[in-house]
Amino acid sequence: MMQQLGLITGASSGIGRSLAHEHARRGRDLLIVARREDELNELADELRERYSVAVRVVAKDLTDPASRREIFELVEGQGLTVDYLFNNAGFGGAGQFHEQDWDMLSGMMELNMRAVAELMHLFVPGMVARGRGRVLNTSSTAGFMPGPLQAVYFATKAFVNSVSKAVASELQGTGVTVTALCPGAVKTDFADTAGLSESKLFESAATPQTTAAQGYTAMEAGRLEVITEVGLAVAIKGLMPFIPERLAMAGVKKIQS
C-alpha cells in the first residue's frame, strides 16, 4: 500500500525533480512521470535510498492524448490512490509567433494546457470522494501578462493560472485544494529548451530547490497561488495594472530578446 502518494509530471529534471525530493523527504511515496526513463530510474533509486519511500516510474510522453488516461488506468489497476497531483511538465519556445514551428507550438499547448486539465479531471474526483487531496500546478509569472516573443507559452500559463484558481474556488469545502506555482526565471533545462539561454532573464535565476520548496509549502497551506519572487509579485500585482499594456509588453519583449 502506497502512503500519501504523489504523482509528479516532469520529474526527470528541474523543478519537478526538486518537487520529488520535497515530497519524499516527508516520507511520502511517489509515482514519477516524464519521457526519459533512465533519469526517472536514477531519481527513483536516489529517493528510495535517501528517504526509504516507495517510488514507481512511468515513462510517458504527455503530449500523446492517450497517455493521461493510460496513467490513470495504471493507478486504478494497481489499486492506488493519488493524494497529491503535481502537474509540472511543460516547456517554452521563444521566437516570432508567425515564424515558429506549428508542431512545436501545438505540442506545447497539448502538454502545458490539455495534459494539466485532463490529469486534474481524472484524479480530482477521487480526491473529492475521499474528502482530501492537493493539486500543485506549475504555472509561471508568464501567466499574468501577454508575452511577445513567447506568445503561446505565456498564453498557456494564463490558462493554467485561470483554470487552477477557478477549480480551487469550486472545490472550497471539499478538502481538496489547487495551487498555482508561479516562478520567475529558474535555473533548469527550461532556458535551453525554449531557446532562451542567451536571455538576461536567466542571469539571476532562482534555483529549482527553493522554487519547489516554496511551491510545496504553498500547496500544503492550500493557497491559491504563490509567486516565488517578491520583486515580481510587487510588479505584477502592484504596478502592472497601472502601466499601459503596450508599454508592459515592450518591456517583456526586451527581456525575452
Residues 131-190 that bind ligand NAP (CB under 6 A): 138, 140, 183, 185-186, 188-190
Task: Give the per-residue contact string, 15-54, with ligand NAP (x = CB under 6 A; - = no).
Answer: xx-----------------xxx--x---------------
**Given the complex with ligand NAP, which of 15 and 149 has the nearer CB atom?**
15
Task: Give the per-residue contact string, 68-97, with ligand NAP (x = CB under 6 A; - = no).
Answer: --------------------xxxxx-----
Q: What cell was used for 207?
A: 534555483
**Given the complex with ligand NAP, which of 16 and 133 has the nearer CB atom?**
16
**Given the complex with ligand NAP, which of 2 and 186 has the nearer CB atom?**
186
CA dihedral of 92, 97, 98, 100, whole degrees rounded to 10 = -10
Sheet holding 84-87, edge to edge: 55-59, 30-34, 6-9, 84-87, 133-138, 176-182, 225-227
215 binds ligand NAP (CB under 6 A): no
51 part of the active site: no
Name the nearest CA neighbour of 15 among 128, 240, 184, 164: 184
For residue 234, give the amino acid letter: V
List the beta strands (DSSP E) in the chain. 6-9, 30-34, 55-59, 84-87, 133-138, 176-182, 225-227
User: Sign of dihedral through CA atoms 10, 27, 181, 192?
Assistant: negative
Q: How many residues bind ligand NAP (CB under 6 A)?
A: 31
Min separation Cβ 123 and ligand NAP, Å: 16
The residue nearest ligand NAP at its CB is: 14
CB of 136 within 8 A of CB of 160?
no
Alpha carbon distance 80, 212 (integer Å):
25
**Given the complex with ligand NAP, which of 109 and 128 has the nearer CB atom?**
109
Options 5, 12, 44, 171; binder of ligand NAP; rule CB under 6 A: 12
**Given the complex with ligand NAP, which of 38 and 129 has the nearer CB atom?**
38
Choose one: 4-12, 44-52, 171-179, 217-225; the region binding ligand NAP (CB under 6 A): 4-12
SS (H, E, C) 163-214: HHHHHHHHCCCCCEEEEEEECCCECCCHHHHHCCCCCHHHCCCECHHHHHHH
Site for ligand NAP, rule CB under 6 A? 9-16, 34-36, 39, 61-63, 88-92, 111, 138, 140, 183, 185-186, 188-190, 193, 208
**Which sequence positions are flagged as catalytic?**
153
